[in-house]
């Protein structure tokens, strides 16, 4: 004689992750500490025609220090080691591929600084670079490393400059306007929005930014632009976008933005008097050209 087992189930309270669950990182689109959002070269390429000296290039960093309270930001630009072959990236352990250790070590303190042209800009002279290295870059690429410091914060990075190989030479893209829900955003008067509702942010590039260029003997190509959206507060749905064919699909220059909200977890609260939010949109073309625009708006606790 056999019987089935007696079934029981006792519900029990238990905890798995009550107070120390990791929270996500801040997104790249949120600018709340010292950041470099781009480095513009003017001209966008190194113009070095035969029998002439190369034209010097002015490098200017788009630096944002929203929490700095107007503190000074020190910037230094230095040469990076010449690339003797296309940059190699190396896989180290579980990390994303990195530039090979030799190339990564940039800027090096041992390399001379570029001549400063202002607090956040410097002058790059290809002739000086050739003189410094004793030879021209075999790939026609020169990298400039930069380091910015403000208080305890430091940012390191690099920018690559290339010889102009196509005609016509590249120009930096130009962003003429920034629109919020189709309304032009201006710093004066400040556009005002309420809490909660998402808005559409759109950068308007100058149509001339979509340049046509061609290598000798090749069909002309039209540049495309990639946009990077940043805001000092609120949430952007995308950080980077890209136009498809020379601006034919301008929808991709848009991003959705949600104004900041009170957050009981972090204690953040939108001030009663409202707060200013600054947008930074950076556009990059295919040949190293870069342009940006920034605008402010005011966020109010109640709809304007």
Partner 1 sequence: MSLTQILLFPALFSQAPALPAASAAPELTQPILTKFIQAPYPEEAARLGLTATVHLVLYLSREGKVNRVLVESPVGQGFDQAAVEAAKQFLFTPATRGGAPIEAVVELDYRFTLSTPLSAPDSGPPTVPLLGVVREKGTRRPLSGARVSLPELQRTAETDAEGRFELFGLTPGRYLVAVELPEYFPFSSHETAQADRPLELSFSLEPKTSKPFETLVRGRRSTPELASTTVQYEEIRHLPGVQGDPVRVVSYLPGVARSPLGLPVLVIRGSLPRESAVLLDGHTIPFLYHFDLLKTVLSAELIDSVDFLPGGFGAYHGDQLGGIVDVRTRKPRGEGVHGSVVPALIDSSLTLEAPLPWVPKLTLAAGASYGYLGPLIRTIGGDVVAEAPLPDFHDFQARADYEPAPSHRLTLLAFGAADRSATARRSDQPEDTPQVFERLNAFYSAQLRHEYSFWGASDRLNTLSASYVNYRSSTTLAGQSERLVQSWLELRENLELPLFSSLKLQGGYFGRLRPLADDPQLEGPQADPSRPSVERVKHEPNTAYSSSLYAEARWQAAGPLLIVPGLRFNYTLFTHSVRPQRSWDPRLSARLALNPATTLKASLGWFHQTSLDAWRVPALRPEEALHATVGAERRIAQALQLSVELFYKQLSSLVVAPDTFRLSDQLLRPVGELFTNEGEGRVYGLELLLRHDLSRNLFGWVAYTLSRSERRRAGRAYTLFALDQTHLLTVVAAYKLPYHWDLSLAFRLASGNPETPIRYGLYDADHDFYLPAPGEPNSARLPASHQLDLRVAKTWAFDAWRLTGHLELINVYHQRRSELAFWSFDYTQRQELKGIGFYPSLGLKGEW
Minimum CB distance to partner 1, residue 60 (Å): 11
Cβ proximity to partner 1, 49 vs 248, nearer residue: 248
Say whether 105 sits in a helix, a strand or coil.
coil
Cβ proximity to partner 1, 162 vs 190, nearer residue: 162
Minimum CB distance to partner 1, residue 152 (Å): 11
Minimum CB distance to partner 1, residue 107 (Å): 10
Minimum CB distance to partner 1, residue 264 (Å): 11
Cβ proximity to partner 1, 25 vs 50, nearer residue: 25
Measured CA to CA, the distance from residue 35 to residue 48 in angstroms comes to 32
114, 79 Cβ separation under 8 angstroms: yes
Name the residue among 124, 149, 178, 118 with its Cα closest to residue 36. Answer: 149
Burial of 91 (0-12, 13-18, 19+ CB in 10 A): exposed
Cβ proximity to partner 1, 210 vs 257, nearer residue: 257
Cβ proximity to partner 1, 20 vs 188, nearer residue: 20
- Residues in Cβ contact with 229 at an 8 Å cutoff, skipping those fewer than 6 apart: 29, 201, 203, 236, 238, 239, 240, 241, 255, 257, 279, 280, 281
205, 248 Cβ separation under 8 angstroms: no
Minimum CB distance to partner 1, residue 118 (Å): 17
């Amino acid at each position: 004689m056999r019987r089935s087992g007696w079934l029981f189930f006792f519900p029990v309270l238990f905890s798995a992750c009550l107070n120390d669950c990791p929270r996500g990182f801040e997104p790249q689109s949120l600018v709340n500490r010292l950041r470099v959002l781009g480095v513009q070269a003017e001209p966008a390429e190194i113009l070095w025609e035969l029998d002439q000296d190369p034209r010097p290039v002015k490098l200017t960093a788009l630096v944002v220090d929203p929490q700095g309270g107007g503190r000074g930001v020190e910037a230094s630009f230095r040469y990076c080691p010449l690339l003797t072959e296309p940059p190699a990236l190396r896989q180290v352990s579980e990390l994303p591929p990195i530039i090979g250790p030799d190339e990564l070590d940039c800027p090096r303190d041992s390399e001379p600084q570029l001549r400063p042209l202002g607090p956040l800009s410097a002058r790059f002279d290809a002739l000086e670079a050739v003189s410094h290295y004793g030879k021209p870059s075999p790939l026609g690429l020169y990298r400039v490393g930069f380091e910015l410091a403000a208080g305890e914060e430091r940012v390191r990075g690099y920018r690559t400059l290339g010889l102009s190989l196509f005609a016509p030479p590249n120009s930096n893209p130009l962003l003429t306007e920034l629109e919020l829900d189709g309304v032009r955003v201006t710093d004066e008067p400040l556009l005002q929005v309420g809490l909660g509702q998402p808005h559409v942010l759109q950068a308007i590039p100058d149509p001339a930014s979509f340049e046509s260029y061609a290598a000798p003997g090749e069909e002309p190509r039209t540049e495309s632009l990639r946009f990077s959206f940043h805001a000092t507060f609120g949430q952007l749905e995308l950080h980077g976008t890209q136009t498809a064919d020379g601006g034919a699909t301008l929808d991709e220059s848009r991003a959705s933005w949600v104004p900041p909200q009170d957050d009981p977890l972090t204690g953040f609260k939108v001030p009663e008097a409202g707060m200013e939010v600054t947008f930074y949109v950076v556009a990059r073309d295919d040949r190293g050209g870069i342009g940006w625009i920034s605008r402010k708006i005011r966020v109010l606790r109640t709809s304007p």
